[in-house]
Homo-oligomer: A and B are copies of this chain.
């Protein structure tokens, strides 16, 4: 069907071995034949067959990204970033969607390894630690966003404690004393870490922690709505709500709309993770950006590093840090307002629309 190395070799009246060496550019052929073969190959439209090559070399030029879904905005940008970076390096991305289901994850993993992927970036469910650990002996693996505690795989994480701290402190600085928190389940790392950041900020400010202001649940709109109602029905409702997830934000917004609660005048709202429409919403929603783009880039960096390491001197692999954290940053928009007798700012709209305060980035731990 298509042009093979043999065809090129024949046309140039050399052996396939010579052709191979000339085209792959090992310096083992004379300058002249080298160039001649390159020319002929181009003329014939020769394209090396990655499958055949892969069989011999054990590599596939395929790198897999395994995420939970694509509705999550963070995963979208991660997928886009990973794909773009890899393509530039001549790799193709296999995108797999595991739905946060351990069984699906496990199946997918074995299939991927069958396909001899050269590397894997995975958002682990946390239930297949043993399997991941085993696979990592054959294939470079980097975990993203979540850590699988059963492994000591290299992991790239958002700095959730820092992000939550930053957000909470911002609200405190605006004069808020009663800050509601809607956070993820406490059996997930991110849920715990975000809560701890919130708690730290309160502590530092000398504000007593009030557990009636803290609600944990799944990252879905319904949770947001339920928790928002509970918070607003409190005898002394909060003056600000920090929603530690963008899905839940939907629910909160619905409730405030239903009850005609004006943001930011009646209630300040701060959200974790960005969404494209947050900027366009009126009022534009202030957020703590978890740095999805940076996370993805760092994950790719680390993966490439391991892939090199494996190629050059197989076996060492481990070289220092196993955990990387990417700093979160606050992006102020219009959904939080100052409440203080001494500075009675009425509207948030006068603030600069997108000033950024950045935390330390890529901190080794």
Please report the C-alpha to C-alpha distance between residue A270 and residue B50 in the assembled complex, in whole angstroms. Answer: 49
Chain B residue nearest to A111 (CB atoms) is B92
Within residues 257 to 310 of chain A, which ones have a CB less than 8 A from any CB in chain B?
257-258, 275-277, 280-282
Q: Which residue of B1, B55, B71, B83 contacts A76 across the interface (Cβ within 8 Å)?
A: B71
CB nearest to A251 among chain B residues:
B280
Nearest Cβ in chain B — how far from A38, in angstroms?
18
The answer to whether A221 touches B70, judged by C-beta atoms less than 8 angstroms apart, is no
Q: Which chain A residues in 31-78 approach chain B with CB under 8 Å?
A: 47-52, 54-55, 58, 60-61, 69-71, 76
How many A residues have CB within 8 A of the partner chain? 48
Choose, from A18-26, A93-101, A141-149, A337-345, the stretch at the interface: A93-101
The answer to whether A83 touches B95, judged by C-beta atoms less than 8 angstroms apart, is yes
Residue-wise, chain A 238-263 has the 8 Å CB interface mask toward B (1 for contact) of 00000000000011011001100000
29 residue pairs bridging A and B, Cβ less than 8 Å apart: A1-B58, A49-B116, A51-B54, A51-B55, A51-B116, A52-B55, A69-B80, A70-B76, A70-B79, A71-B276, A79-B95, A79-B97, A83-B95, A83-B96, A84-B97, A92-B111, A92-B112, A93-B94, A93-B96, A94-B94, A94-B95, A95-B95, A253-B281, A254-B280, A257-B281, A257-B282, A258-B282, A275-B277, A277-B277
Question: Assuming A93-B94, A221-B280, A275-B277, what are 9 further A-B pairs, CB within 8 angstroms?
Answer: A49-B114, A50-B114, A87-B96, A87-B108, A93-B95, A250-B277, A253-B282, A254-B281, A257-B282
